Structure 1
Amino acid sequence: MNSGADLLRIEQLGIAFKMMGGQLEAVRNASLRVLPGKVTALVGESGSGKSVISQAVMGILPNTASATGRILFCDPENPGNPIDILSLPRDGKAIRDLRGRRLGKIFQEPMTSLSPLHTIGNQVGEALRIHEPVSKAETRDRVEEMLGLVGFANPARTREMYPFELSGGMRQRTMIAMALICRPSLLIADEPTTALDVTIQAQILQLLRELQAKLNMAMLLITHDLGVVANVADEVVVIYRGEIMEAGPVETIFRRPAHPYLKGLMAAVPHFDMKPGERLKALREIPVNADTLIGKRKQERQGPEILLSVRNVIKTYGTRKSSWFGKNTAAGVRAVDDVSFDVRRGECLGIVGESGCGKSTLSKIVMRAVTPDSGSVTYFDRDGKAIDVLSSEGNDLKTLRTKIQMVFQDPVSSLSPRMTIQNILSEPLEIHDRGSAQERKEKVLRLVQAIGLDQSALNRYPHSFSGGQRQRIGIARALALGPDLMICDEPVSALDVSVQAQILNLLKDLQKELGLTYFFISHNLAVVDYMADRIAVMCGGRIVELAPRETLMRSPVHPYTKALLAAVPFPDLDRPLDFAAVQACGATGTASWAAQFRADNDDNALAAADLGGGHIVLARRNADVRELQP
């Protein structure tokens, strides 16, 4: 095909980085295209070379990188003269004229990509001021127009705000406005929805599709989420370790995948149609060796059925605003609002909901990292003794810490960069005086073997491991003291789908072998569906629905739950996202639910209705639960 028919054509691209002792080839002989007005998805795991290719297209490769091949951009403003981006001087006028004006990019992490010192209006309008001769008034008008286009209800107010005043979804919308302010012909979206909740993700995907049609814009979408690809892309390019494995129209790729790597990626994604007991097929399985870890503990499930009981927990975070006249007005946000539930021994209780709904605050209360305003948390040991978690002190609290452990969301920041893996895993044993130095060394060795790592890992530091390996180390640290309850706070949200499958299978194997109980927090309903026995849905600090997994997934009652389920993108062309249903749980929808709950100061205004079979739904007192159904 003539390159003139393509908006962007990459031919035999090779990218290498200079390193001590030689070169690292990040991309090898990569060729792909982006058609005018179409979406090409570049799919692969972390480290496969996706983002490096996008940097080469934008002309922002680091100085240590060298590139070969051609990147031809056929600008609609000058259609007969394709520009080879690689041949342009790295910081010359020609590439600067293209970058930001004709080529836009949405970066992966919106918080670190936005300046904390400048207003939203200042940052969105910067590219416009650089590339076009516009007055201040025109800049203001264009910025407000674009902010309105990407979904801000009050663009004039948003223009004066700072990034820290916006949620993750709003910051991502700001990044989109920055990329589109000059109406580029090509938008590069680098993992635009990775860190977002499913409902916000669905809004962003719908927004990108609408803007693409409205502006007649092409898009290079970089992602590892096949559900996103199925709902947005026209063409798909699959990359693995710097090489293109497969490319073609989305219909061909999804219905007739040819390469084993693509088939493996599809099998690694959890979905709602999985049979009971069916496992995810990880690309690289982890051999689990839990027999020698703490010994088989199925018999240790003996004891009360309820392991943890949480009753009427409330937590309010206060803010204080000073007026010009020196008067202080106190305001508060109720993060957890009268929450009650039980965790049964040996089960996995899933907690789902959007960012800000109170999931992580609730987990910190259970861990005694945060003190609630009121309520009770009771832990029942194997002898049936009730332990008040919130009032435990001294040795009682130290003992309780060994029974409840936590796996954190971010495997990078939760491990000390100054400690070896040997020190990280032995630290809990030393704090709680478990065994002699030799016994601790042997226990640490059993821990790394249990999570599928080699003995050589013990003398290495966290930075030398991949994200999935670091998360496995975090799991091993949580297992070191032989806990009964493990709180998993978004343990796979930062991982690729193939690595995610490894971690989820590992957690299920450990639960089966050691008789563990999980309190599993996530915003990904497909992941919770795979892991949990029962699922609680949180919104606005309250649990709005609680039911066995099969019941909740098959026949949800609460509108919020229905909208959450509708927002999950399936890697299936026959099950596209229902954007109309998602609107019920959009940014405004969620806010209205939360506002409705928090406006009810009368404790009797809301009541938990029991539908039978453990299915609890939050409804207005004296109201028929069926009224919640559409």
Structure 2
Amino acid sequence: MVTATDLLRVEDLGISFTTMGGPIHAVRNASLRVLPGKVTALVGESGSGKSVTSQAVMGILPNTANVRGRILFSDPATPGKTVDLLEMPVDGEEIRAIRGSRIAKIFQEPMTSLSPLHTIGNQIGEVLAIHTDLPKAERRARTEEMLGLVGFKNPKRAHDMYSFELSGGLRQRAMIAMALICRPALLVADEPTTALDVTIQAQILQLLRELQQKLNMAMLLITHDLGVVANVADEVVVMYHGEVMEAGTVEDIFRNPSHPYLKGLMAAVPHFDMKPGERLKALREIPINVEHLLGRKKEVAPKGDVLLEVRDLSKSFVTRSSGWFGKSEPPVKAVDGVSFDIKRGECLGLVGESGCGKTTVSKILMRALTPDSGSVIYHGANGPIDVLKAEGDDLRTLRTKIQMVFQDPVSSLSPRMTIENVLSEPLEIHNRGDAKQRSEKVKSLMEAIGLDKRFLKRYPHSFSGGQRQRIGIARAIALGPDLVVCDEPVSALDVSVQAQILNLLKDLQKNLGLTYLFISHNLAVVDYMADRIAVMYAGRIVELAPREVLMRKPVHPYTRALLAAVPFPDLNRPLDFGEIRATSVLEKGWAPQFRADEQDSLSPADLGDGHFVLARRNVDARELRP
């Protein structure tokens, strides 16, 4: 029975999918509610049934779904009337009048949700064209107004831009504008900040909260980030294997969690208060075995020696203002004089927002990009090698000694190759052993990452995201590298799977003597993994220090802003949205000693104990200490 206070009420929802092997039960007897003007967070791992539940609310389940139960919606626009969304024909006029207008959805991945062939304004205006009778000029005016409302500085220009011209954060804002253009009563937000940087995520969360209050809108927030939940939600529903494990107010859930699954989720989240040597408590530990891994180092090389020396890297890209033959804009400096060392056996964390140059640096190290200037020297067992000029045998050595784990475990594995082919390919390319030896090595790699050898004949699509990422890690260590570049290896994973992968990387580092360059925008993850941390902003490293120093006593204002934007899964440590400035205006608020002028340029100032900060040349280092 729906109450007068419920905007949406899901009762005994059951969703199953018909397959050749029998029905798969995705949701079992799930019940939840969303109150008017409030945020209900739906929390759980991948495969728990969160997104399927949201699809049922929107009426966009595939034809193979079998649904039972009730989804009751009480639209404030029609007081006293309650409708069951499941009783409406899937493509009927009733559900189409509600979908997109009264109930709207923000999808998880804005790049695949937005059409690359249509402008942003065209796609947002299409929603108005479907649900209203407004003339074209009025639709454009409304669209530009909404683009301004979600944070676009120049709405008129943004209206005529394409999705591929926008950053991840701006694409997500465009998706929010499309969802809110008809002023819906309920917004379903499916992982709206998963792939975003902490500062952009904080801005999106602040934006959603402000718009929710301004439009008196309710929100069903689907996420696995408990930090986001603690800062945004009013009520929380925890799902596991299609069932609701626990539900209640955000106060009850965080202060008095009762279900073991919820307690396990909270223990799997990396946080800044972890003690040295403390491990994340994954819900399901991976049993790894590196004893039989061929190529395992008999004696781990001593720590402390410099393995990779990077000096004054610079890289610029030329963009065009519009069209194929448009006037060229001035080159954009993606990397601007970056220097650092990676010591053997350590993990150097590289953090910063999207567009700061992190991935460009990693591509230069892997020789996927050629820098405009600078040098990269690899100090191997047989002497130094110039990474940027290496040819012949030196280049083949580098290809085996420096490997990469990619951000997206789906697109980085070929869908046409079995896992056996994926793992044996690098061994074949570099002529390692005969067919029998390679087969044994592949089985050893599977043991090392905690996967069953029986899975070798399977294809990537039959594995979960976490398992695919483990396969990517196995491929990276197949040739016995010295340095592994990890480019956002856990950003697309749930917290429980993330804990598995991070623990696996730590175990492999310890057992195989690996060295990591760990690139991430998640500071809590970097705090758990790294020995030293370098912070990048606008193509430059603005601060570099040992982990405990940088996290406890940050000096540069950008580092402090990054730390302020991290959402904690703790009700006693809420985000201070007032402290989080937009990136575009961040630099204007910095103290003068961190800003260059015509008389004084910036250079790294040594604060002692391996702590460096980018500041004016003539400033005394003692003035920079907090």
Aligned to 1:608: 604
Q: Show the counterpart of 2:535.
A: 537
Q: After superposition, where does 1:80-91 map in structure 2 within 5 Å?
A: 80-91=80-91
The total of aligned residue pairs comes to: 625
Partner Cα separation in structure 2 for residue 547 and residue 333 of structure 1? 28
Contact 2:303 2:345 survives alignment (8 Å):
no
Q: Is the counterpart of residue 623 in structure 1 residue 619 in structure 2?
A: yes
**Percent of aligned pairs with the same residue?**
73
Residue 286 of structure 2 corresponds to residue 286 of structure 1: yes
Aligned to 2:368: 369
- Once the two structures are superposed, residues 468-500 of structure 1 have per-residue CA deviations (whole angstroms, 9 ceiling, x without a partner) of 011111111111111111111111011111000
**Offset of residue 592 of structure 1:** 6.6
Q: Structure 1 residues 294-303 or 75-84, which shifts more? A: 294-303
Partner of 2:184: 184
Q: 1:501 to 1:10 in 2, by over 3 A?
A: same
1:303-335 Cα shifts (integer Å, max 9, x gaps): 8711110011111122356899x8964631111
Q: Tell me which residue corresponds to 2:561.
A: 563
Question: How has the CA–CA distance of structure 1 residues 628 and 190 changed in structure 2, closer, same or farther, with 3 Å as cutoff?
Answer: farther
- Once residues 295 and 431 of structure 2 are traced to their aligned partners in structure 1, the CA distance between those partners, rounded to angstroms, is 20
Instruction: Give the superposed CA RMSD.
Output: 2.3
Look up the match of 2:115. Answer: 115
The Cα shift of 1:292 comes to: 2.1
Aligned to 1:496: 494
1:144 aligned partner = 144
Q: Which residue of 1 aligns with 2:101?
A: 101
Q: State the shift of 1:137 in Å.
A: 2.7
Is the CA contact (8 Å cut-off) linking 1:298 and 1:515 kept in structure 2? no
Once the two structures are TM-superposed, the CA of residue 119 in structure 1 deviates from its matched residue by: 1.8
Cα distance change of structure 1 residues 494 and 327 upon mapping to structure 2, 3 Å threshold: closer
> Mind listing any 5+ residue stretches in structure 2 that lack a counterpart?
none
Q: Deviations over 1:548-590 (max 9, x none)?
A: 000000000001000000111000000001111111xx23235
Residue of structure 2 in register with 1:62 after alignment: 62
Please state if 1:235 is matched with 2:231.
no
Render the CA deviation track for 1:516-564: whole Å, top value 9, x for unaligned: 1111100100000000000000011110000000000000000100000
Find the counterpart in structure 2 of residue 276 from structure 1: 276
- Correspondences of 1:221-620 after superposition (within 5 Å): 221-294=221-294, 297=297, 299-302=299-302, 305-320=305-320, 329=328, 331-382=330-381, 385-583=383-581, 586-589=582-585, 605-620=601-616
Aligned-pair distance for 1:204? 0.4
1:12 aligned counterpart, secondary structure: strand
Q: Distance in 1 between matches of 2:304 and 2:579?
A: 42
Q: What amino acid is the match of 1:367?
A: M
Paired residue secondary structure (2:319) = strand
The C-alpha deviation readout for 1:340-376, integer Å capped at 9, x for no partner, is 1000011000000011111111111111121111111
Question: Which position in structure 2 is the counterpart of 1:4?
Answer: 4
- What is the distance in 2 between the residues matched to 1:265 and 1:547? 31
Alpha carbons 1:304, 1:382 under 8 Å: kept? no
Q: Name the structure 2 match of 1:131.
A: 131
Deviations 1:36-95 (A, max 9, x none): 111000001111111111111111111111210000001112221210000011111111
Helix, strand or coil for the counterpart of 1:611? strand
The code of the aligned residue for 1:90 comes to: V
- What one-letter code is carried by the residue in structure 2 that aligns with 1:502? Q
Q: Secondary structure at the match of 1:146?
A: helix
Cα distance in 2, alignment partners of residues 627 and 320 from structure 1: 42
Whole-angstrom distance in 2 between the partners of 1:431 and 1:249: 56
How far did residue 396 of structure 1 move? 1.3
Q: What is the CA-CA distance between 1:624 and the residue it aligns to?
A: 4.2
Does the residue aligned with 1:19 lie in a helix, a strand or coil?
coil
Structure-2 residue corresponding to 1:14 = 14
Q: Structure 1, residues 591-619: CA drift from partner, whole Å, max 9, x if none?
A: 8799x99x979897111100001000001
- Asked if the contact 2:197/2:522 (under 8 Å) is kept, the reply is yes
Rounded to whole Å, the distance in 1 between the matches of 2:116 and 2:21 is 39
Contact 1:404–1:485 (Cα < 8 Å) also in 2: yes
Structure 2 counterpart SS, 1:319: coil
Asked if the contact 2:287–2:450 (Cα under 8 Å) also holds between the matched residues in 1, the reply is: yes
1:80-137, CA deviations, whole angstroms, 9 ceiling, x for partnerless residues?
1210000011111111111111111111111111122222222212222222222223
Q: Which amino acid aligns with 2:609?
A: G
Residues 253 and 418 of structure 1: CA distance in aligned 2, closer, same or farther (over 3 Å): same
Specify the code of the residue in structure 2 equivalent to 1:416. S
Contact persistence 2:607–2:625 (CA under 8 A)? no
